[in-house]
Amino acid sequence: MQDIKKILVPMDGSKNSMRGLDEAIYLARQCHATITGLYVIPLAKPMTDSQISRLEKYLLNNASKFMSKAKIRAAQNGILFDDDITYGDEGPKIINYANNKLYDIIVIGSRGMGSIKETFLGSTSNYVLHKSKIPVLIVK
């Protein structure tokens, strides 16, 4: 447990991703670790600000609001929380982000906002679990 210093928490605005954050906060307190919340908007990144559609503005606004709540929740527990909002295919984005920034563990909710319910795990958490080179904690 002592070697966990950087925790990645993929978030999507769902109650489950907030539960993942709560678990990460608990873990961070035990290990004196920092948390990065990663919110992946499942769209291609707009080329310029003028190309942002109403839907993209709405999704970006929702992501920003959710990340603000997450940051406050972490701060109330004395945990340093960085946030990052990116665009793309959630699973591969999370894996690349974790690998590039050298995280120690990924803490992810078992199910997100996806409309297609998988039997046991959401498709993103399932993908992350099987593709990650670092430990993954899935929170139900």
- CATH number of the domain within which 83 lies: 3.40.50.620
Mean pLDDT of 31-45: 93
pLDDT at 113 over 70: no
- Bridge-based pairing state of the strands 6-11 and 136-139: unpaired
Coil, strand or helix: which one is 140?
A: coil
Cα–Cα distance between 136 and 44 in angstroms, integer?
26
Q: Is 1 part of a structural domain of the chain? A: no
Q: Which domain holds residue 34?
A: 6-139
Give residue 95's pLDDT band: very low, low, confident or very high (50, 70, 90).
very high
pLDDT attached to residue 12: 92
Quote the pLDDT of residue 112: 61
The domain tally of the chain equals: 1
59 within some domain: yes
Predicted confidence (pLDDT) per residue in 12-30, tens digit: 999 999 999 999 999 999 9
Residue 133 has a pLDDT of: 95
In a domain, 120, yes or no: yes
For residue 133, how many C-alpha atoms fall within 13 Å in the half-sphere facing its CB?
10
Q: How far apart are CA 113 and CA 39, in angstroms?
A: 12
Calpha distance 72→110 (Å, rounded): 23
Domain membership flag for residue 127: yes
Q: At what angle do helices 15-31 and 54-76 cross, to 10 degrees?
A: 40
In terms of Cβ atoms closer than 10 Å to its own Cβ (0-12, 13-18, 19+), residue 88 is middle
Percent of the chain with pLDDT over 70: 90
Per-residue pLDDT, averaged over 74-80, amounts to 97
Q: In 3D, which of 140, 114, 111 has the Cα closest to residue 126? A: 111
Total residue count of the chain as it appears in this document: 140
Amino acid occupying residue 89: D
Asked whether residue 132 is domain-assigned, the answer is yes
Give helix then strand counts, H and E, for the chain: 4, 5
Single pTM value for the model: 0.90
Q: Stretch 37-62: mean pLDDT, rounded?
A: 86
Dig out the tokens for 133 from the structure.
């080179």
